[in-house]
Structure 1
């Protein structure tokens, strides 16, 4: 023990030692500071008075005017005390008693995790719990409140006879978690009371018993385990629906009584280069996890997959098997249903290799891609689900597979004057196998007849492509005293033969169905999005790029150009099972014009715009405008999007690639913070074509170091039926106590008048 004081008084008659004036005692990691300390050798007790402060070995601070404690700081009694723990939680009481060195009982105590106001220390905190007794068990790591009253801003809100929470220092402890309330017009109102079971430092379990007033008891449990190199979890849920008739008739939800799921996710780092993982969902029907909002598995489209990935410098390896699971209410017999039309991809393989050493003075890239997939049901429905005889064949029934290998070499030369020339050579080969059902073959033949081309259905296809290209860039620098500008004219030319089987239908298109031609893809060598489509013929791309840096951090950049088909068959005007390339802006010899521009500023303002314009009339075909302003107290982002209809204009044109009507939409979101801790936010989406505010929401929130609250109201409106769904939700978070929240959908829907 180390004792420091201004004066020491020894009383041998009473067998006491008294330290007076600036007393400080250090013993076994504990520290006591007071104006006066009297030590009774007979009882082995210290009585400290006058601005007493004790700091124990854990860092917890105790403040009082008088403390009676044993000489080993193990047990004691305190009047009018205040306790501050290391993680900024606070106890106060009229008196307290400590026994066995671990259990502290606060009489008429107060507990909060909110730091006292420096300007007004007597001001009530945002929240606090007052109790007749607060029992803090340092060994069991619990805090028990008896005859407790919960207060907000000094006003009582709830009374609880008794409850117990984990010690503020505990990160994992078994026990009940804060209940949550849920509800919807189909499920009824429900309450969930989770129970957390801490089994070991590396694995645990959580049970989520939930009762819905209309559908009954939902049982759910989650198991989690962590290792040195990764972690996995398993979630199981099930219910016996009491009232399936509450759901809309003719839906999956209304047809099922016993429903359940099992889902698991995992990811492991085998070594610094290799990782392995999975995300798998299995359920009794295709919509259970979405209907009951099973966390982690309630997406409208869930991808179940198993994968192995390797990455080393510029070399990449990826092997995975997966399936997209569409969670929808539609029955499988409904032609609009997408669930059974999703294929099993077993497997998908990607490999990319770039040697570290230069090859013939240039860079060599080798890419390999392979995929094998099986689909049980023909996906013949058009983008609008029309089911017409000439609908696009988005997916064939049966098996198909492909292996692609491609090599590309390029080298850059800088000519006098700054002209940069990059010659390019590329070669590619594909081996494709198919095992179509009779229904798929008939669908392909029907579509070929509609398009006026031949069908060429085989069990195997082999095709190759060679490319010779040249890219020229001439960056020109302009500088002033306050800005720097770079203007860079660019040009590319790629000479290729026509692609094999280009004007006949037969080769499946699974991974190149999405095609968006804009400024970002103008200078791509192959503008198709995947490997199933191959670009042939001779094509040139011309454009100009600009970037400018101005004084005080302002920046401006832009790109504009056009693509030209010079020789051979235009692949974007060639027939395809999904009409990829039609209405893309690339189907004519002169493409549409594409452009983009962006602005950045140091004051939080940003702007970007991109568009595609008709090559003859300069009429707008597609555009995206985004503007935003962000500062610490305020932010707002607006976006305008327009996409022209991608549908036939005249007889004999390809079937609709996308939507058969124009799409025009405005989105706006904003958030404002005021009074430091308060903020309000909102968002809206407006369909200009249908004159419908399809989504809107507004809410407000408060957050500080000990308390957070948010409340949100939102509505969504069907673009076609004008049916409105409303929902609201709120959440409360009390630091060290837990989270509480609720969300419910309105039990009614209204139509716009």
Structure 2
């Protein structure tokens, strides 16, 4: 057929179908909606919307006047009301008002869904009808198929013996069953309800039935929020029994919802959880509450090691963030529970928790934050709730407020460079002083945890006790104005002069009431509770980079020297050091202008010089190396790091001698994906390593692996009486397409020495025998984990096993072994399950369970 004939046939078919499908209104000579009769009484042409116009393309047109049919034959394509129908042959039956399409037939909906079948029998507007050998592919790659399907009301699909899946067919073998599919006697998809109903359904994996579900329903791919049940949650522990939670989500409005999660536990009864979420124009917030009246309190340890005295246990959590304007935000993240073991016992997930093997606490905060290109403001408060038996709530501070302000002025008049203004105000209150024994020698061989609020310090003695926090109120206000400027001379040398003025005011009101708090009077003089200090400083940094180019790379060698002059630090023993208790001297803080202390409470004094050399090399396109080595010297005045405060911060730091320890770091990448990093601190006289941190990582599309090593010498003045040494290995391997295995192990390389020392002491005391000698080597595992993961476009499957040895300092007597399972089927939901293998006693659970 020529192009002219093809165009004529298409035009004729379009005209014919448009007339035949116009309905009785035109046949009876009545105007359609929007049309008016003309002067001669004939109806005028109705205004036709563009989407209502029919466009037909076909190779030929066949009329049958006897049967009143019009057939389009050959590569037929019809566009009508946003839908496109394609087939080898399309026949319109005027008498029955039906359209039949056969041969490679398919309909493309306006939303992108593609419906294919062997034969379509539809109404004249393509909305309703029957389809044989149906296959539907939605825009989100979900698929339906059925031997026969019916569409009614233009929005309800009924699939007889239907199959649903979100998996793509195998490219090499499309007839092979997908990884998973739902096979159902009937699948009903109601678009108006945005819901899919499954009757007499079976969940199949690789064509093998794995689960039978008489009836279920779920939202279709267009749904983002819909009222209904969510995936169930399972729990099984010795103290709780077996439990099943069934969350019910209530979509109250597009911007707020409610989730109810009742969980029945065979041993403890009904655990209730409710979560409210609300999004507004300028932010959002959420509130979640959990609670249970326990049926079997004997499953837990008695106070103070467990919550056996609690009949009702629960928690309340809330978080929120609101934008006042583009620069200012206000928010909070708060959490409270009836006891410190609730979250762990009942598997309550909480984003405010900071959990590790040795430290567990819930941190609640509220804040006001403002930012601009040159300024930063933050005002907040903190509340800490301990989650292990060792910490005492009365020793936790309530910090309110903490105010930080930073303002930078670039190139100020007359000075140039950069001018910076810093302010910090901190106030906290603590009911009871927090003491720690020095040295704090806790035995890993203790079988029953001890509980002491005073940690061995019956009477305060600076040589035997550390004061980690005073009772009463401690407040401090600090302000600092600093200036620096980079000057490059004609030789390429970089000179950076520096000047600053720092002022602090302290107000300490110790609480001397009670047995414990009476010891505070020997630490801080209650009659002199307000004092201050002023610390001016001037300094200069010198750098001179030398650049060399060779055939194998570019090299930059840069000697660096810095000197800062200050008067002596004052009142170090009167300062309640709350925010500067952590001090790690390494290459990262070697050239810090404000010293090496981590907070405001302590301040470096005297005249100090810091020197070092930096090397940077580039080799080819990918390889590079960066190395720094240096040392610090106390030139004049009193060394702030040799005079310990109430927690001995600065002692055993490598800075407490006039010539500090050597510090060095290295970063090397010999090839793409391969990184070597390391840092160390070496004794200034013996060159023995005091700290070592090293790691090697390599990753590509197939394998990812890392090796880490850490070694830290004892710091007896800080209560750390033994060396800490560990080795970690971790990696993952893609063993097949979509499959990956992973594993990790952490070795405590020094624990076996300590165990043997403890055994010798116990043997000498007659409490141990030769049979109990810890005959172990250095490679004792602190934790291990193994995992298997499968991920593709429709499925995520993950199973893992982890084990960590008992932390006897935290009260645990048995190793923790956990197996976790997760299965996510795209669009259907996910199932998570974890199970502890064996009981522990570090979480308040009775050892008899």
Q: TM-score range by the shorter chain?
A: over 0.9
8 Å contact kept, 1:458–1:506: no
What is the Cα deviation at residue 722 of structure 1?
6.7
In the other structure, the counterpart of 2:746 is 685
Q: Secondary structure at the match of 2:598?
A: coil
Q: 1:303 aligns with which of 363, 366, 375?
A: 363
In the other structure, the counterpart of 1:695 is 783
Distance 1:304 1:337 in 2: 17
8 Å contact kept, 1:393–1:443: no
Q: Secondary structure at the match of 2:815?
A: strand
What is the Cα deviation at residue 444 of structure 1?
5.0
8 Å contact kept, 2:510–2:526: no
In the other structure, the counterpart of 1:496 is 566
What is the Cα deviation at residue 303 of structure 1?
1.5
Q: Whose relative contact order is higher, 1 or 2, with alpha carbons under 8 Å and at least 6 apart?
A: 2
Q: For residues 41-93 of structure 1, what are the alpha-carbon distances to aligned partners after superposition, in whole Å with 9 as ceiling and x for unaligned?
A: 12211011111111112211111111101111221011111111111111111
In the other structure, the counterpart of 1:452 is none
Distance 1:533 1:749 in 2: 41
Q: For residues 3-36 of structure 1, what are the alpha-carbon distances to aligned partners after superposition, in whole Å with 9 as ceiling and x for unaligned?
A: 2212212222222111111111111001111111
Q: 1:280 aligns with which of 334, 337, 356?
A: 334
8 Å contact kept, 1:327–1:339: no
Q: How does 1:341-356 map to 2 (within 5 A)?
A: 341-356=395-410
What is the Cα deviation at residue 254 of structure 1?
2.1
Distance 1:645 1:58 in 2: 67
Q: 1:369 aligns with which of 424, 427, 431?
A: 424
Distance 1:677 1:712 in 2: 17
In the other structure, the counterpart of 1:510 is 578
Distance 2:682 2:542 in 1: 25
Structure 2: segments with no counterpart, 5+ residues = 1-53, 355-359, 441-454, 753-779, 843-849
What is the Cα deviation at residue 228 of structure 1?
3.0
Distance 1:46 1:73 in 2: 7
* Correspondence 1:380 to 2:468: no
Q: Secondary structure at the match of 1:245?
A: helix
Q: Secondary structure at the match of 1:168?
A: coil
In the other structure, the counterpart of 2:19 is none
8 Å contact kept, 2:301–2:308: yes
8 Å contact kept, 1:185–1:746: no
What is the Cα deviation at residue 714 of structure 1?
0.9
In the other structure, the counterpart of 2:384 is 324
What is the Cα deviation at residue 145 of structure 1?
0.8
In the other structure, the counterpart of 2:468 is 394
8 Å contact kept, 1:640–1:666: yes
Q: 1:639 aligns with which of 689, 703, 708?
A: 708
Q: 1:404 aligns with which of 460, 465, 478?
A: 478
Q: 2:267 aligns with which of 206, 209, 214?
A: 214
* Correspondence 1:560 to 2:629: yes
TM-score, normalised relative to structure 2: 0.84
Q: How does 1:563-642 map to 2 (within 5 A)?
A: 563-642=632-711
8 Å contact kept, 1:456–1:506: no
Deviates more, 1:139-148 or 1:225-234: 225-234
What is the Cα deviation at residue 733 of structure 1?
0.5
What is the Cα deviation at residue 565 of structure 1?
0.8
8 Å contact kept, 2:327–2:371: yes
What is the Cα deviation at residue 620 of structure 1?
1.0
* Correspondence 1:93 to 2:146: yes
What is the Cα deviation at residue 414 of structure 1?
2.1
In the other structure, the counterpart of 2:302 is 249
What is the Cα deviation at residue 456 of structure 1?
8.7
Q: For residues 703-751 of structure 1, what are the alpha-carbon distances to aligned partners after superposition, in whole Å with 9 as ceiling and x for unaligned?
A: 1000110000111112557721211011000011000121111244699
What is the Cα deviation at residue 386 of structure 1?
3.7
Q: Secondary structure at the match of 1:279?
A: strand
* Correspondence 1:665 to 2:722: no
RMSD: 1.9
Q: For residues 328-358 of structure 1, what are the alpha-carbon distances to aligned partners after superposition, in whole Å with 9 as ceiling and x for unaligned?
A: 2x2xxxxx32433111111000001112442
In the other structure, the counterpart of 1:451 is none
Aligned residues: 729
* Correspondence 1:534 to 2:603: yes
Cα 1:245–1:628 change in 2 (3 A) is: same
* Correspondence 1:184 to 2:275: no
In the other structure, the counterpart of 2:221 is 168
Deviates more, 1:712-721 or 1:257-266: 712-721
* Correspondence 1:524 to 2:612: no
Q: Secondary structure at the match of 1:340?
A: helix
Distance 1:143 1:337 in 2: 52
* Correspondence 1:49 to 2:125: no
Q: Secondary structure at the match of 2:161?
A: strand
In the other structure, the counterpart of 2:759 is none
Q: How does 1:715-730 map to 2 (within 5 A)?
A: 715-718=803-806, 720=808, 723-730=814-821
Distance 2:670 2:701 in 1: 15
8 Å contact kept, 2:232–2:245: yes
Q: For residues 453-498 of structure 1, what are the alpha-carbon distances to aligned partners after superposition, in whole Å with 9 as ceiling and x for unaligned?
A: xx79621011101111111111111111331111111111111111
8 Å contact kept, 1:731–1:740: yes
Deviates more, 1:720-729 or 1:319-328: 720-729
Structure 1: segments with no counterpart, 5+ residues = 331-335, 449-454, 648-655
* Correspondence 1:473 to 2:547: no
Q: Secondary structure at the match of 2:435?
A: coil
Deviates more, 1:81-90 or 1:385-394: 385-394
Distance 2:613 2:781 in 1: 39
Deviates more, 1:23-32 or 1:296-305: 296-305
8 Å contact kept, 1:498–1:568: yes
What is the Cα deviation at residue 217 of structure 1?
1.0
In the other structure, the counterpart of 2:315 is 261
Distance 2:217 2:669 in 1: 53
Distance 1:737 1:387 in 2: 58
What is the Cα deviation at residue 394 of structure 1?
0.6
TM-score, normalised relative to structure 1: 0.94
8 Å contact kept, 2:433–2:517: no
Distance 1:142 1:487 in 2: 67
Distance 2:417 2:210 in 1: 73
Q: For residues 633-670 of structure 1, what are the alpha-carbon distances to aligned partners after superposition, in whole Å with 9 as ceiling and x for unaligned?
A: 101111111111100xxxxxxxx314111100111111
Cα 1:594–1:711 change in 2 (3 A) is: same
Distance 1:622 1:145 in 2: 62
Distance 2:512 2:523 in 1: 14
Q: 2:67 aligns with which of 14, 24, 33?
A: 14
Distance 1:456 1:428 in 2: 25
In the other structure, the counterpart of 2:346 is 292
| Greater strand share, structure number | 1
Q: For residues 421-478 of structure 1, what are the alpha-carbon distances to aligned partners after superposition, in whole Å with 9 as ceiling and x for unaligned?
A: 1111111111111110126875356569xxxxxx796210111011111111111111
What is the Cα deviation at residue 288 of structure 1?
2.0
